[in-house]
Structure 1
């Protein structure tokens, strides 16, 4: 039997932490290894337990989720971070993706959605729930995002149709082999397309590529 995916929860609400603890306890392949109520405690605990996936709230007193995410990406790039969010945090979601989060998960999500998101994050996938994606897309067209560090203006970057199809698969949470099968190409070709996409968007991960494409309006209809 493979080792369980080691999960840590960071949220300042006790009810959320307890709810996630109970949900994770019902899974055979997911293991809760820590929970923290604030950013400072979270970073100390992450250093000790080295989880595979961190479920991270964005709005916390003191050190907020974005600052915690920045520290995780700087010190433990192997740890996947899934943003815990509510329906009114579109800008924080996009900024989190730009900073390297694996995706986001609504706190109201079902048990199965939670499990699928954690498993996808652990294998390097991107988690973007369809019901919230449209809102983030709308937000990027209506409101400039603070803290954007992209080097190229939107009108200087173009993706080919095939590159858009590959990126759309990433948004759906598909692995390279699943994208390859759907498009009738090899996994090696998918990886080559991803490399080209990263170069064009000046990013280094699937999540940041999705964020950059969202910001520039380069994603096709999903």
Structure 2
């Protein structure tokens, strides 16, 4: 039997506090239980359901309409990459924050391609897990922390499984400065770090990133990272 349990919050939620609805997806019940306990003390985070397989994750994401899905990568049957692709398809889709074990997961770039907005590493600090959920729920992408940068550097250059690598897509309609900014985004730099590197203000760096998101029809910063690799700006 698949371990799927829609969950209600244990404590009442203050109606004046906007809540972030979270769906937990992991084939290990202990991992889900630990995350659920962690979030129970945060009035802005509400666990609305749990799933132990990718198939159940897709179904519950459709039925429960969470804001964020915390998605494991390796699960029986449909893995987290395919589940992420299905969950993030279509308008109004929830954000997906991928759970990974850095030492042995080799599918992280696939998750980026599938629409994930960032990563949780299973041994990261508890406060960082909560912060990651809030960042992704707010519409941003979690690529700034050093551990995520390591993941991007390690896996983004690996070819996607398949009979032949896809040709590099052309990069058109961007200025030379925007190309510089996109390169630095692809290397995992934050807006502040980009500003220092290019000797511009943080506000200007943020404006360049916003224009890139619009021009390249990218959902979030993670997709800009993918584009930087796919267009060859980051080797």
State TM-score, norm by structure 2: 0.74
Q: Residues 140 and 5 from structure 1, CA distance in 2 versus in 1: closer, same or farther, beyond 3 angstroms? A: closer
More helix by share: 1
* Partners of 1:148 and 1:190 in 2: CA distance: 34
Q: Which structure is larger by alpha-carbon Rg, 1 or 2?
A: 2
> Do residues 12 (structure 1) and 24 (structure 2) align?
no
Contact residue 163 and residue 194 of structure 1 kept, 8 A: no
Contact residue 183 and residue 233 of structure 2 kept, 8 A: no
* Partners of 2:104 and 2:148 in 1: CA distance: 10
Contact residue 191 and residue 202 of structure 2 kept, 8 A: no
Match of 1:53 among 50, 53, 68: 68
Residue in 2 that maps onto 1:195? 214
Residue in 2 that maps onto 1:23? 38
Secondary structure class of the residue paired with 2:160: coil
Residue in 2 that maps onto 1:63? 78
Residue in 1 that maps onto 2:204? 185
Match of 2:181 among 136, 142, 165: 165
User: Of the two structures, which has the highest relative contact order with CA contacts closer than 8 Å and spacing of 6 or more?
Assistant: 1
Structure 1 residues 25-174: aligned runs within 5 Å: 25-75=40-90, 77-89=92-104, 91-128=106-143, 129-141=145-157, 143-146=158-161, 152-153=167-168, 157=171, 160-165=176-181, 168=184, 171=188
User: Residue 36 of structure 1: CA displacement?
Assistant: 0.8
Q: Structure 1, unaligned stretches of length 5 or more? A: none
Q: Residues 66 and 149 from structure 1, CA distance in 2 versus in 1: closer, same or farther, beyond 3 angstroms? A: farther
Secondary structure class of the residue paired with 2:89: helix
User: Residue 132 of structure 1: CA displacement?
Assistant: 3.9
User: Residue 42 of structure 1: CA displacement?
Assistant: 1.8
When the two chains are superposed, the root-mean-square deviation of aligned CA atoms in Å is 3.4
